[in-house]
Structure 1
Amino acid sequence: MRLLLVGILLGSLLMLPELIQQRNQLLHESAVQSQQRTTARASENEDSEVSDNQSGSVLVSGSQSPLTEKMVQQAVGRRSESESGYISIWNWQGLENVTASARGLDSLHHFANSYLVGFQPFATNELWIPLYTLAIRKEYQYDHLQYAGLADIWQTSRQAYYQKRGDCEDHAILLADWLINLGVDARVALGTHKGEGHAWVVAIVNNTEYLLEATSKRRQPSWQAMPLAALAEGYEVEFQFNRDYFWAKTTSAATRSYRGNHWIRKSQFVRS
């Protein structure tokens, strides 16, 4: 009996550091969530009613004539409602893949860059907080289930925070915009994941590329838990954009690198 008690006591002592670590992590997560709720309540009524300006023009590399939002909307207006519900990749004056546009909640097409409106829900110095916040706040839902069968409707970063549901673009737009506010070179990547159309975020920190799956619901309170882009399997990127620029891949070959000669900066977005 004495040996049994000693064994139980030793086992408990060995487990103690792990239990303390788990307890500290739970307390930390609870504190973060409390901060988020407090900050969100203070600004939610004001921020959720803001209408961000998305209008602007695209300055295309190799062309002296800008592509304007009005031109895009006129071209899209000649399409059927179902056709205009898809993302559009635009050619301009003989130049291919110069930018992208997508239909927003206002039923109009806007340039992809314009959906990053410079929004962050609250201030933080921790780079893992934006992805963690998405994991606990926003639900994933396909656009066609949320918008009467339309295939692709985008939310701005502000809308993506206050709208309870959204798909991969909405998650990625909010995550990238928030990280940019924190000083990170963050971009929304467009392509496929395991053969299906998808959007995700690439973040370049200390000259290292990280692939952030914005739709992930894993709650990892650490930047070190983020995967290196070079090791992420199943992602086939074709385009990237941030608030200002749009990049296209110059080769049909698959790549896990988001910088280099196989990328060309096609255009710059200038907000009106």
Structure 2
Amino acid sequence: MRKWTLPLIVLSLALMAPEILRNTLYGARAQFAQEASLDAKIRIANANTGTRSLKQDRQHGVVRVAGSSQSLSEEAIQRVVAKRTLEESAHVSVWNWQGVEAATASARGLDQLHHFASSYLVGFKPFKTRQLWVPLYTLAMNKEYQYDHLQYAGLSDVWQTSRQAYYQKRGDCEDHAILLADWLIELGVDARVALGTHKGQGHAWVVAIVDNQEYLLEATSKRRQSSWQAMPLAALAEGYNVEFQFNRHFFWAKRSQAPTHKYRGSHWIKKSQFIRS
């Protein structure tokens, strides 16, 4: 009987091959059609650059700090930043307020003014989609990575709002993360921009909480991802050391400097709330 085993297996595979090939082709065609449709949406959205990108985003607001009786205003931080040199003002600032350390953060925008971190998430989505992987795919296809100091005449940090990040051809990690997080929030995902280091270098990325699982999304990745389940779990991501995180409304800081792979829990303090005006 053994001498027939191999021929029978070969014959079975030969008979199955057309069906296997057909399924493979159908799957490839479906994936190609899906990506082609998505690429068409990206082109249409980009064609509207002349009208949409000129819109002025509402970033003005105040921050209500937990444990403080007085809000921190944007005017207050801008008065302090105005006294700094151009180079100094290009750094991200973490603010203490009325005895509360690391109450919030601000960064220089394209308008050359400092705005609160949460204000850069302006409630923008380039187009509608139900697929959670589409924003990451779009970033991979549509935006080039470039360091700020190369794009802005030596300035170390200049942030783009989520809308600007879509229409600006180039941007660094913060710009990618801001757009990705804001778009995912529009899809109903609990998404946050994480600030910290990756392998010792300053970095920004996105954490998304889906079905009570925390996913770490590298917004600067240029790989195509067509399955949400292919995204890495935050607990398994190596080399990332988060210090702060924020979404449209809240700013969190860790209780200690101890590294963590968890983005929720008692080791995090919700420091403040951004109120857009």
Q: TM-score range by the shorter chain?
A: over 0.9
**Change over 3 Å in CA distance of 1:64–1:21 after alignment to 2:** same
Match of 1:35 among 32, 41, 66: 41
SS of the aligned residue for 1:265 comes to strand
| Pairing partner for 1:168 from 132, 148, 173 | 173
Do structure 1's residue 23 and structure 2's residue 9 form an aligned pair? no
Displacement after TM superposition at 1:168 (Å)? 0.3
Alignment counterpart, residue 56 of structure 2, candidates 51, 57, 67: 51
Deviation sequence 1:70-116 (CA, Å, 0-9, x none): 11011111111111111000111121000000000011110000000
Deviation for aligned residue 1:22: 2.5
Q: Following superposition of structure 1 onto structure 2, how do residues 81-92 of structure 1 map, counting pairs within 5 Å?
A: 81-92=86-97
Residues 40 and 122, structure 1, Cα contact 8 Å, conserved in 2: no
Match of 1:257 in 2: 262
Closer/same/farther in 2, CA of residues 39 and 150 from structure 1, 3 Å limit? closer
Aligned residue number for residue 198 of structure 1:
203
Deviation per residue, 1:187-243 (Å, 9 max, x gap): 000000111000000111111111111001111111111111111111100000001
Provide TM-score, normalisation by structure 2.
0.92
Gaps of 5+ in 2: 1-6
Equivalenced residue count is: 267
Equivalent residue number for residue 117 of structure 2: 112
Q: Secondary structure in 2 aligned to 1:50?
A: coil
Question: Counterpart of 2:40 in structure 1: which amino acid?
Answer: S
| Runs of 5+ unmatched residues, structure 1 | none
**Cross-structure match for 1:63:** 68
Question: 1:261, CA displacement in angstroms?
Answer: 0.3
Matches within 5 A, 1:115-134: 115-134=120-139
Residue of structure 2 equivalent to 1:151: 156
**Percent of residue pairs bearing the same amino acid type:** 65
Aligned to 2:251: 246
Whole-angstrom CA distance in 1 between matches of 2:23 and 2:187: 34
CA deviations 1:40-70 (Å, max 9, x no partner) are: 43x4332111001111111000101111111
Rounded Cα–Cα distance in structure 1 between residues aligned with 2:203 and 2:171: 13
Is contact 2:46–2:167 with CA below 8 Å preserved after alignment?
A: no
Distance 2:121 2:41 in 1: 24
- Cα deviation per residue 1:234-267 (whole Å; 9 max; x = unaligned)? 1100000001000000011110000000000000
Residue 50 of structure 2 aligns to a residue whose secondary structure is helix
What is the TM-score when the length of structure 1 is the normalising length? 0.93
Preserved contact between residue 141 and residue 166 of structure 1 (Cα < 8 Å): yes
2:99 equivalent in structure 1: 94
Q: What is the aligned-residue RMSD (CA, Å)?
A: 1.8
1:271 pairs with 2:272:
no
**How far apart, in 1, do the equivalents of 2:124 and 2:26 lie?**
37
User: Which position in structure 1 is the counterpart of 2:4?
Assistant: none
Higher Rg of the two aligned structures? 2
1:229 to 230, 234, 249: 234
Deviation track 1:107-129 (CA, whole Å, cap 9, x = no partner) reads 11100000001111111111111
